[in-house]
Structure 1
Amino acid sequence: MAPAPPTTDRDWRAFVRILALSMVGLFAGYLALAVVVDPYDTGRSTLLSRGAVRPQGPRTASAMRGRDPAYSGVVIGNSHIQLIEPAALTQLTGIPFLQLSVPATGPSEQFALLGWYLKHHARPDAIVLSADAFWCADDPAFPSEHGFPYWLVGDWPAYLRGLIRFSAAQETVNRLGWLLNPRHKTAAADGWWDYERNYLSQGFGIDPAKKAALEKPVGPEPEPHHGGPFPIAARLRAELARIPAATPVVVVFPPVYARAEPPPGSPRARAEAACRAEVRAVLAQHALSTVVDWRDGRSAAADPDQFFDQTHYRLPLARSLTAEIAAAIVRLRTR
């Protein structure tokens, strides 16, 4: 048997070319598949869209929910307004409402979701925004310790870059499996999530340590990076410019437990009041707008049975807040 010819540099170069082309082909094939499957149903490809939300966290489900044309009203914020039930707002206002709140988010993430919603709803019937302590940070970037998939609600280049990650590849496979399953489960289309059970299962309202934490008063000094100035004013002004003048906008200062209110006249109290005053001043520039203020010392905020912790309230209080938000929307719409 004749010996095999020696491997030449040309052979190695050909092998490397074939390998490189194969990798490029595999990458292009995956990206094309991911775009067609649209793992989080952003609507960029509707070939496999089924009009239902696959069970997942609100961070990613918001991409599908935020583009749903069935909802002409929206609530945007974090867990401090997540117990506002959209169906209840719908019943009280006649506006089909969507809950687009995502836990552990601040203005940067919330305004990104607002932009996504407005992109798919040119003339909303009402917008509700929650202005909590995260709005009163002094960094105009409003950084968050928790990741957020901005790429899902971004432009096409950002979306394509976002698909090039292991989690997106996993979700591409997961969504294919979900689509092929005739008995696939679905999540609430309107984003409603009652998290009371989650808190109760963790001992809130029962555990002595958690009860003690609820009663711990806050200090007189502002939290770090929350003493002002407040860049939320400029950011909110820019966001309001994107909202049609005929759309009612309600900004909610969500309830906090009485022990979370700083001592009257303290630097912290002055800083928080100044921030809310700036939000009010900017909001007033939108013709159809109002504030629902639950930081006004009302008696319900002093009831420990209405709170899990100092910033998360329970359903009975949430229902009262819902009714007040709905009444504000009705008043704005009758102007």
Structure 2
Amino acid sequence: MALAHPPQDRAWRGFTRALLLAMAGLFVAYLALAVVVDPYDTGRSTLLSRGAVRPQGPRTASALRGRDLAYAGAVIGNSHIQLIEPAALTRSTGIPFVQLSVPATGPSEQFALLGWYLKHHPRPEAIVLSADAFWCSDDPSFPSEHGFPYWLLGDWPAYLQGLLRFTAAQETINRLGWLLNPRRKQAVADGWWDYEANYLSQGFGRDPAKKAALERPVGPETEPHHGGPFPVGDRLRAELARIPAETALVLVFPPVYARAEPPAGSPREAAESACRAEVRAALAVHPRNTVIDGRAGRSEANNPDLFFDQTHYRLPLARSLTGEIAAAIVRLRTHATE
């Protein structure tokens, strides 16, 4: 004969079931709210979309900027090309450009942004890619020391999983507050960020110690390099296969200060040259491409007033580079119609 459970046990089981159901209900309710609010405006839910970028860093703002159909051209890279002004490219080419560059990123993050942009712009008019030293890694996973929200640009399962983090919950609340504020602030829609003032405030260009660091020659083996092959070559070929043949594609090797160049004849110089050659070879699979080589012995590279540090150039040089990029795009498009 089975013994009846004591009333106290039944009460505890009932309480436990009620608690678990309540927790499950709260979980489902939060997830449903987060999906509807879409804290970073990825477009998975447009019920509360206002077509404006809420002030935030470029890592998360790129989800909205990259899907904005107003932009038929994109600049993708990191802080080594972030000073290229999209509005200036637009004025010179007639193509509405967006800046999708994110500081402290490498090829893995940049190709993810390219994929997101192409998902929403299957036939872009022009794309500008920046290939700096991070592209020359011998690790095909292109590891980064800085986190990146791949889940924002991923599929639904990855997105839902990403919403289950504390920062996403915070941003869900923050975006609700922003939406309810009639005087809500907005970030620049096209992603333009002139960070020159930020660098100047940190003493770059004035601090004697920082000036001395700018002039410090780079040794032949300051950091490990190898002679290839470079995984970025195959990865770039695969990414370029997604870009329509009629899209003007400009790849930029961003300028560095002359003291940052490796000594002539050193293993590092040979490795970096081999890497750039590999990138050029991969780029050739796209029929409408050109390269702007900021590392090709430019006279501006010897002017310390044009650089904050050895790899970040200032606005005057950025403007000159912007003009070159725009002219290259116009040439590619003009030749295509001849």
Same-fold status (TM-score > 0.5): yes
Distance in structure 2 (CA, Å) of the matches to 1:96 and 1:223: 39
Write out aligned runs for 1:26-65 (5 A).
26-65=26-65
Matched, 1:277 2:267: no
Displacement after TM superposition at 1:217 (Å): 0.7
Q: Is the 8 A contact 1:139 1:225 kept in 2?
A: no
1:208 aligned residue: 208
1:231 aligned residue: 231
How many correspondences in the alignment?
331
RMSD: 1.1
Displacement after TM superposition at 1:220 (Å): 1.1
Matched, 1:158 2:158: yes
Q: Is the 8 A contact 1:71 1:97 kept in 2?
A: yes
Matched, 1:306 2:306: yes
2:296 aligned residue: 296
Displacement after TM superposition at 1:227 (Å): 4.8
Write out aligned runs for 1:1-335 (5 A).
7-221=7-221, 223-224=223-224, 227-335=227-335
Consecutive unaligned residues of structure 1, counting only runs of 5 or more, are: 1-5
Distance in structure 2 (CA, Å) of the matches to 1:102 and 1:128: 14
- Structure 1 residue identity aligned to 2:43: G
Distance in structure 2 (CA, Å) of the matches to 1:313 and 1:169: 37
Displacement after TM superposition at 1:120 (Å): 0.2
Distance in structure 1 (CA, Å) of the matches to 2:144 and 2:94: 35
Distance in structure 1 (CA, Å) of the matches to 2:298 and 2:56: 37
Relative to structure 1, the CA distance from residue 265 to residue 66 in structure 2 (aligned partners, 3 Å threshold; closer, same or farther) is: same
Displacement after TM superposition at 1:11 (Å): 1.8
Q: Is the 8 A contact 2:126 2:329 kept in 1?
A: yes
- Structure 1 residue identity aligned to 2:333: R
Distance in structure 1 (CA, Å) of the matches to 2:34 and 2:225: 41
**Which whole-Å deviations, capped at 9, do the CAs of 1:294-319 have from their partners, x for residues lacking one?**
10011001100000000000000000
Distance in structure 2 (CA, Å) of the matches to 1:36 and 1:298: 51
Distance in structure 2 (CA, Å) of the matches to 1:192 and 1:226: 35
Relative to structure 1, the CA distance from residue 225 to residue 10 in structure 2 (aligned partners, 3 Å threshold; closer, same or farther) is: farther
1:3 aligned residue: none
**Which whole-Å deviations, capped at 9, do the CAs of 1:223-279 have from their partners, x for residues lacking one?**
225553310001000000111111111110000000000111110100000000000
Distance in structure 2 (CA, Å) of the matches to 1:248 and 1:283: 12
- Structure 1 residue identity aligned to 2:318: A
Q: Is the 8 A contact 1:140 1:232 kept in 2?
A: yes
Distance in structure 1 (CA, Å) of the matches to 2:233 and 2:259: 27
Instruction: Return the TM-score normalized by structure 1.
Output: 0.97
The percent identity for this pair of structures is 82
Q: Is the 8 A contact 2:111 2:239 kept in 1?
A: yes
